[in-house]
Amino acid sequence: MLNKKAKILSIILCILGILISISSIGIAASPSIVRYSSDWPVIIDPSVGSDCQGVTAIVNLFDPLVSADTKGNVIPHVAESWDVSSDGLTYTFYLRPRIKFHDGSELTAEDVKFSMDRMLTIGEGISYLWLENIQETEVIDKYIVAFHMKTIFGPFLVTLPSFYIVNKELIMANIKKPGIYDDMGDYGRGYVIDHDAGSGPYILKDFTGEYILMEKNPNYFLDINSAPDEFKMIGSTEPILLKTLMARRELEMTNRWMGSETLKSLAEIEDVEIAQWRGGGMEYITMNTRKPPLDDIHVRKALAWAFDYDMAVKLVPGSVQARGPVPLLIPGSDPNSFQYHLDIEKAKLELKQSKYYGHFDEYPIEIEWNTNKYMEKQAMLLMANATDIGLTLNVVETTWALFCSDSASIEATPHLHVLSANSYYPEAASLLQARYHSSTAGTWLQGEWLLDPVLDEMIENAIATKDKDERYAKYREITRYIIDLCPTIFTIETPERRAYQSAYMDWPAAKGEVIPVYKYDNSIRFIKVYPEKREELLKK
């Protein structure tokens, strides 16, 4: 009798187990997902990638040493605590034990040192933040690492939420030799270009020429149980396609490059809303100061007086006219700095002082734009008014990839380019250094090619200042110096404006809960998605 009951119980348990398995398969077959429209290409190597789409991937695949809160305060992440020496030259970090890379190996101080050494040796991406400041990275213990500085670097801690850690053992196993980095061969660049070497909340699942697919890390050291199962970056910013995908609920978030007309049409879709916030973004028209006739400051000033700033503000709802190279909400900016306004007569007077006056027809000027129609409209605004003062501008559409490639040389860099840039950390030095220090010349960050040793020294002196108030005062002096050189037309401070599926997506940034570190707004681990609500919308 007992055996019969035991058999019946065994059968019931077996059936229950099958049902649970079927249920589990069903859940796995319908994962919660965030799909995001992205520009292309996407560089996922933290030592190389620095643009919007690259950092969006990096912030999800890799972990930073420390993180930040919505007020910009540095908070623990991989490092659970730290201390700073009394002379301000040594920063010691104490790591959490048992953090795992995606291949199962443990993240230790050796990986932190390797990541910074690799960053500084490759010298690309955002390495300029630390290249001239870090003397040595030292492994003190398995979970203790120290950075020894060459000189005081005031904003060092604030920069570290943008420093991401790679898997030393995995990269070393995939180095190709010979290479340009001597014993390190290619330093694993050929591998990391499309392979996962991180410990972040998401794991690289598929990387094609059209999309990147990531899946949630089941062994992540923080609680991400409520985060989406997958994150997909779709390589398109084409408005008609994005509108179709949003209407079909096959896209959850758009990128920041949507024009006002596109956003307006997306907002007409039921339960699609436009999120908007000020996040330290700026629009610039860069001027190649090494390329005639823009090597003449009078020509540059004439163009600055010829731009219609009020109309540029109207093109982007929520924007304001810029006041110099740093958005006013960034600590250390200068709210009292001089700004140009549209004045055709002043523009004409400047041109008359130029050494090229009377010969402008010998120097054709091109202004490039890419990605977004409102950037084209800014280029057209300048072109129209330039004609009124006797300059001919040719508006040229380019691609992001081609612009990045052309930026490598003075000759290939266009005369003018409509550029969007954000601060990497919440302090004015982020943009002052990224946009105007000689170390970034030859990258997409600096189409001006200033190469000004006086300015370089001013920036270096400012970031080497320990006292924050004194450092901020120096930032304001730098701002005035740059404005006097007129290497850039400072057009507008832009808000982030993104369409998203508000009915089934809980996105902190859309509610104003924004962490002021570059692309932390795209950190998917903070987002919640409700697939059942999406299914309800699809049935309507």
Nearest to 230 by CA among 216, 246, 218: 216
442-451 tens-digit pLDDT? 999 999 999 9
Q: Please tell me the predicted confidence (pLDDT) of residue 7.
A: 43
120-163 tens-digit pLDDT? 999 999 998 999 899 999 999 999 999 999 999 999 999 999 99
Share of the chain above pLDDT 70, in %: 94
Please report, as a single letter, which amino acid is at residue 37. S
Q: What is the DSSP string of 10-31?
A: HHHHHHHHHHHHHHHHHHHHS-
Q: Please tell me the predicted confidence (pLDDT) of residue 101.
A: 98
Per-residue pLDDT averaged across 225-253, rounded?
Answer: 95
Report the DSSP pairing between strands 505-506 and 211-216.
unpaired
Whether the pLDDT of residue 25 is over 60: the answer is no
Per-residue pLDDT averaged across 104-108, rounded?
Answer: 98
Decide: 228 and 216 in contact? Cβ < 8 Å: yes
Q: Please tell me the predicted confidence (pLDDT) of residue 260.
A: 82
Q: Please tell me the predicted confidence (pLDDT) of residue 18.
A: 30
d(CA 84, CA 394): 53
Mean pLDDT of all residues in the chain?
Answer: 91
Per-residue pLDDT averaged across 186-196, rounded?
Answer: 97
Decide: 367 and 396 in contact? Cβ < 8 Å: yes
Q: Please tell me the predicted confidence (pLDDT) of residue 327.
A: 92
Decide: 340 and 307 in contact? Cβ < 8 Å: yes
Whether the pLDDT of residue 73 is over 60: the answer is yes
As a whole number of angstroms, the longest Cα–Cα distance in the chain is 111
Q: Please tell me the predicted confidence (pLDDT) of residue 54.
A: 95
Nearest to 117 by CA among 68, 202, 183, 200: 183
Q: Please tell me the predicted confidence (pLDDT) of residue 22.
A: 32
Decide: 200 and 62 in contact? Cβ < 8 Å: yes
Q: Please tell me the predicted confidence (pLDDT) of residue 30.
A: 59
Q: Please tell me the predicted confidence (pLDDT) of residue 1.
A: 42
Ordered by where they begin, the domains of the chain are 63-192 (3.90.76.10), 202-271+502-539 (3.40.190.10), 278-494 (3.10.105.10)
d(CA 367, CA 380): 9
Whether the pLDDT of residue 4 is over 90: the answer is no
Per-residue pLDDT averaged across 514-530, rounded?
Answer: 94
Query: Which residue has 């799909």 as its token pair?
Result: 35
